[in-house]
Amino acid sequence: MPSASAVSRTRPSFATWLGTTNDITRTFLSAGGVPGLINMGGGLPEPGTFPVPEIARLAGEAVKAHPGQVLGYGPIEGLPELRDALAKRFSTPTTRLSRDNVFVTSGGMQGLDLLGKVLLDEGGLVAGQFPTYLGALDAWRPRQPAFRNMELDDPAFDAHVALAGAQFAYAVPNFSNPTGRMVPLATRKALVAAAHCTGTWLVEDDPYGLLQYDGEPLPRLIDISALGSDGTTYTGPVIYMGTLSKEIAPGLRIGWVIAEPEMIMALTMAKQGSDLCTSGLTQHIALAALEAGLIDRIQPLLLSTYRARRDALCDAMRTELGGWFEWEVPVGGMFVWAIARDPALDTDLLLHHALEAGVCVSPSSVFDAAGRNRRAIRINFTLNEPDRLAEGVRRLAEALVTMQARKP
């Protein structure tokens, strides 16, 4: 029998995937608590846009009117009335959706996590839009997948080659996280055609679709996929995901997956082993909010606030960062993606200096499964007021100068 001291020297270990991850999201979410730091790192909304009195009223009404559903366990797939309301919201004359196509999740992140569980084998292949949302990389990391990067802006991109053999493909077609870009219509059509032809699931993650500041929206992949179908419940390979996080408030933790019914069943099995059900309270709030048209009511405020902040950020960047970076002004979403003019500039190192200067941005390495892309930064413009965005950019410029000066 080993002595007590011998036992205490044997340290219990963690699963190996933990050694391959990073805690950058934790940094963004806790940055609000760091005195004086300007957080332009996370995809955080402006709390002043949250419809506080309406949510407080809807919460109170829900508890009183439906105490059993709000405070008890509920169906794994989600509150039936909320599933119906979401089916109605996303149905079109050609995309016919019923309750069986809809699955409620605890935030969009849970949808990504459960999709990894039902679609990915250990070491399986994901065809991911590059650069890729870091939350998706985080969600799938425990399966240690292989990634095939899809560079959707590359004129030579071949959707068929990209999707063939992958366990699924993943894209954020509207105002991608991190680049803020919109996937053009021809590429959307090519992705959907390739998904049908190769029999590959195509995950369309769409948290930012309503946050469009200029121009016209493009059709969703799921709507392109449903064109020409027989007019019954959707059965195609596109898996559409949405969330109330950017439309109302992330604290509700309400998201959804819209897909063919067998996929909804598979997700139900996975959620059974995860959190059993999404909060009945916030599902009832979401249902009442949809019925009352709350999203439509607050959208003008979101758009005017964020459009002005995007412009303020880009103006400040033109003055302070034009010599260092190039970028496109995004037509929607929450981010500007800035690529260093100097290919040798290391944005992991820049983050270190930026934090010292009192500003946080996201380095491009965290949006690359291989962690190799160190030439760009993602800058959020939704959380801070224009003056603070300008000050954040000034601090970033200061960090760049310090970094250059300290170069060995």
For residues 49-88, which are near ligand PLP according to CB under 6 A? none
Q: How many CB atoms lie within 10 A of CB 358?
A: 17
Q: Number of residues in contact with ligand PLP, rule: CB under 6 A?
A: 14
Q: Of the candidates 129, 174, 177, 380, which one interacts with ligand PLP according to CB under 6 A?
A: 177
Query: Does 332 interact with ligand PLP (rule: CB under 6 A)?
Result: no
Cβ nearer to ligand PLP, comparing 130 with 324: 130
**Are the C-beta atoms of residues 395 and 358 closer than 8 Å to each other?**
yes
For 23, 127, 213, the CA distances from 267, given in Å and listed in that order, are 27, 20, 34
Smallest distance, ligand PLP to C-beta of residue 109, A: 3
Of residues 172 and 369, the one with the C-beta less far from ligand PLP? 172
With CB under 6 A as the contact rule, the residue among 28, 103, 133, 367 that binds ligand PLP is 133
DSSP one-letter string for 345-382: --HHHHHHHHHHHTEE-EEGGGGSTTS---SEEEEE-S
CB of 318 to ligand PLP, least distance (A): 26
Residue where the block lists tokens 């797939």: 77
How far apart (Å, rounded) are the C-alpha atoms in residues 18 and 182? 32
- SS3 of residue 257 by DSSP: strand
- Which C-beta is closer to ligand PLP: that of 327 or that of 367? 367
Q: Which is nearer to ligand PLP, 113 or 223 (CB)?
A: 113
Cα distances (angstroms) measured from residue 41 to each of 109, 136, 216: 18, 17, 28
The distance of closest approach from Cβ of residue 255 to ligand PLP in the complex, given in angstroms and rounded to an integer, is: 5
> In this complex, which beta carbon is closest to ligand PLP, that of residue 243 or of residue 362?
243
396 neighbors 357 (Cβ within 8 angstroms):
yes
CB 246 within 8 A of CB 209: no
Q: How far is the CB of 205 from ligand PLP (least distance, A)?
A: 5
Residue 172 in the binding site for ligand PLP (CB under 6 A): yes
Buried/exposed code over 255-283 (b: 16+ C-beta within 10 A; e: otherwise): bbbbbbbebbebbbebbeebeebbbbbbb
Residues 135-154 that bind ligand PLP (CB under 6 A): 135
Comparison of 325 and 335: residue with beta carbon closer to ligand PLP: 335
Q: With respect to ligand PLP, which residue has the nearer C-beta, 173 or 237?
A: 173
For the segment 382-401, give every residue that binds ligand PLP (CB under 6 A). none
Q: Nearest distance from residue 404's CB to ligand PLP, in Å?
A: 32
Q: Which residues between 240 and 259 bind ligand PLP (CB under 6 A)?
A: 243, 245, 250, 255
Residue closer to ligand PLP by CB (options 200, 243) is 243
What is the identity of the amino acid at 233? T
State both tokens at 299.
């959208």
Residue number with CB closer to ligand PLP (128 or 250): 250
Site residues (CB under 6 A) for ligand PLP, limited to 199-228:
205, 207
Q: Taking the complex as a whole, how short is the minimal distance between the CB of residue 141 and ligand PLP, in angstroms?
A: 15
Nearest-CA neighbor of 201 among 229, 152, 225, 168? 168
Angle formed at CA 122 by CA 15 and CA 127, multiple of 5 degrees: 120
CB of 378 to ligand PLP, least distance (A): 10
Say whether residue 174 binds ligand PLP (CB under 6 A). no
Question: Is 209 or 236 the residue whose CB approaches ligand PLP more closely?
Answer: 209
Strands annotated E in 222-288: 238-243, 255-258
Beta carbon of residue 113, minimum distance to ligand PLP (angstroms, whole number)? 10
H-helix or E-strand spanning residue 400: helix 386-405
Q: Name the residue among 361, 363, 404 with its Cα closest to residue 381.
A: 361
Show the binding pattern over residues 95-114: x = contacts ligand PLP (CB under 6 A), - = does not.
Answer: ------------xxx-----
Instruction: Answer yes or no: are the C-beta atoms of 313 and 381 closer than 8 Å.
Output: yes
Question: Contact positions toward ligand PLP, by CB under 6 A?
Answer: 43, 107-109, 133, 135, 172, 177, 205, 207, 243, 245, 250, 255
